[in-house]
């Protein structure tokens, strides 16, 4: 029993230090701050996150700050709660946007992604080998982000620009925590029913400064099991470029459709995306979505994303992709959105039911 408990302690500590994604010195790392790539709003998740050009509500503070200026509402709220991985992980978002004047707007977005009530068994066995279950405590591993956004229309009314300032806080119980800072930049172009957008996330590169707080018992356990004792470090997130185009078609007085095609261009090296290879530092992930509106009150949404090059057991290459779908219902100034989506990979299907709520207030200025 003692052997199994020691193994459990080791696995727990390894999980904690893997989740932090920190090296022993400052460097850029693939998938750093990846919780900020999940997306916000059930509309976006139903359309496989293909909303960078077409969004203009409070969620634009996350997707494309330049689009905030085209929001018709004076004040806009948006909230979302989701459970992932059979309820193990919880994901929460709240957004607020406000028009300053006819040419500018601001927004603030709050995000939390965390796993709570994780058993801490590092002190379960004392130095004499005695097991005491009263020593078991619980902790949380959570990532937080606060994003402040600003948008402004240019003299050429077809163009809007915007930017984000974001503060990131990551915490692994009492073992480790990090603070980070970064900037985003965006531009939007609109000509009648066509919208084009470009967003540079982490344009300044985003850093996370990690610090560890390990007691001597934990350090001894790491040493005894042949693991490296982590030291304070700086983690860098490279820029990512989001390119998007959306087009809206009015089929009748009651039916309107909006289609969008997006390309996410990563600069942190090759990923398992549709476009890119091991010899290039760029990796491009295309995804698309469509929204069909009936009287601007009922919405049907579909998306296709997570398009990857995969290999079967016989070594043959094939394309894998992930479909998403959802619905929306708008009653006066309140909109309830639903998405059936999978944030995992296509070979490990774990679809989740996501709901979000939006409310707009007009003529408050």
| Maximum Cα–Cα distance across the chain | 79
- The Cα–Cα gap between 354 and 365 comes to 33
Q: b/e map of 227-260 (b: 16 or more CB within 10 Å)?
A: eeebeebebbbbbbbbbbbbbbeeeeeeebebbb
Q: What is the pLDDT along the chain (365 residues), one digit of tens a residue?
A: 444 434 434 333 433 343 333 333 344 555 578 889 899 999 999 999 999 999 989 999 999 999 998 888 899 999 999 887 777 889 999 999 999 988 999 999 999 999 888 887 766 776 667 777 777 778 888 999 999 999 999 988 889 999 999 999 999 888 888 999 999 999 999 998 999 999 999 998 888 888 888 777 677 767 777 777 777 778 888 899 999 999 999 999 999 999 999 999 988 766 666 676 555 677 888 999 999 999 989 999 999 988 877 777 777 777 778 899 999 999 999 999 999 987 654 455 567 889 999 999 987 55
Tokens of 7: 């193994």
Domains and CATH numbers, the chain: 2-361 (2.40.160.40)
Q: What separation in angstroms does the CA of 289 have from each of 53, 66, 103, 262, 339?
A: 11, 20, 29, 9, 13
First to last CA, the chain: 68
In terms of Cβ atoms closer than 10 Å to its own Cβ (0-12, 13-18, 19+), residue 343 is: buried
- Predicted local confidence at residue 3, as pLDDT: 45
């Amino acid at each position: 029993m003692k052997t199994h408990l020691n193994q459990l302690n080791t696995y727990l500590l390894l999980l904690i230090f893997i989740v932090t994604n920190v090296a022993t010195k400052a460097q850029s790392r693939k998938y750093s701050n990846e919780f900020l790539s999940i997306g916000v709003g059930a509309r976006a998740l139903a359309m496989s996150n293909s909303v960078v050009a077409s969004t203009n509500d409070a969620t634009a503070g996350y997707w494309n700050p330049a689009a905030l200026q085209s929001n018709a509402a004076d004040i806009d709220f948006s909230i979302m709660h989701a459970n992932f991985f059979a309820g193990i992980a919880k994901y929460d978002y709240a957004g607020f946007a406000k028009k300053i004047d006819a040419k500018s707007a601001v927004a603030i977005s709050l995000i939390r992604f965390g796993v709570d009530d994780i058993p801490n068994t590092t002190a379960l066995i004392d130095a004499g080998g005695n097991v005491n279950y009263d020593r078991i405590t619980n902790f949380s591993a959570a990532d937080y982000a606060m994003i402040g956004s600003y948008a402004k229309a240019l003299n050429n009314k077809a163009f809007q620009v915007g930017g984000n300032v974001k503060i990131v806080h990551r915490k692994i119980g009492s073992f480790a925590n990090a603070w980070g800072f970064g900037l985003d930049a965006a531009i939007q172009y609109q000509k009648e029913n066509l919208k084009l957008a470009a967003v540079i996330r982490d344009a300044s590169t985003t850093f996370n400064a990690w610090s560890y707080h390990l007691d001597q018992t934990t350090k001894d356990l790491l040493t005894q099991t042949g693991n490296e004792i982590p030291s304070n470090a700086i983690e860098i997130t490279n820029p990512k470029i989001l390119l998007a185009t959306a087009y809206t078609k009015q089929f009748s007085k009651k039916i309107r459709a909006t289609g969008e095609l997006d390309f996410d261009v990563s600069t942190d090296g090759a990923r398992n995306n549709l476009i890119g290879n091991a010899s290039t530092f760029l990796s491009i992930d295309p995804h698309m979505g469509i929204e069909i509106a009936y009287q601007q009150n009922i919405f049907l949404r579909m998306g296709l994303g997570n398009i990857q090059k995969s290999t079967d057991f016989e070594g043959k290459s094939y394309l894998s992709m992930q479909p998403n779908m959802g619905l929306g219902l708008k009653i006066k100034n309140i909109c309830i959105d639903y998405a059936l989506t999978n944030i995992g990979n296509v070979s490990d299907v774990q679809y989740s039911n996501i709901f979000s709520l939006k409310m707009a207030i007009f003529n408050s200025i």
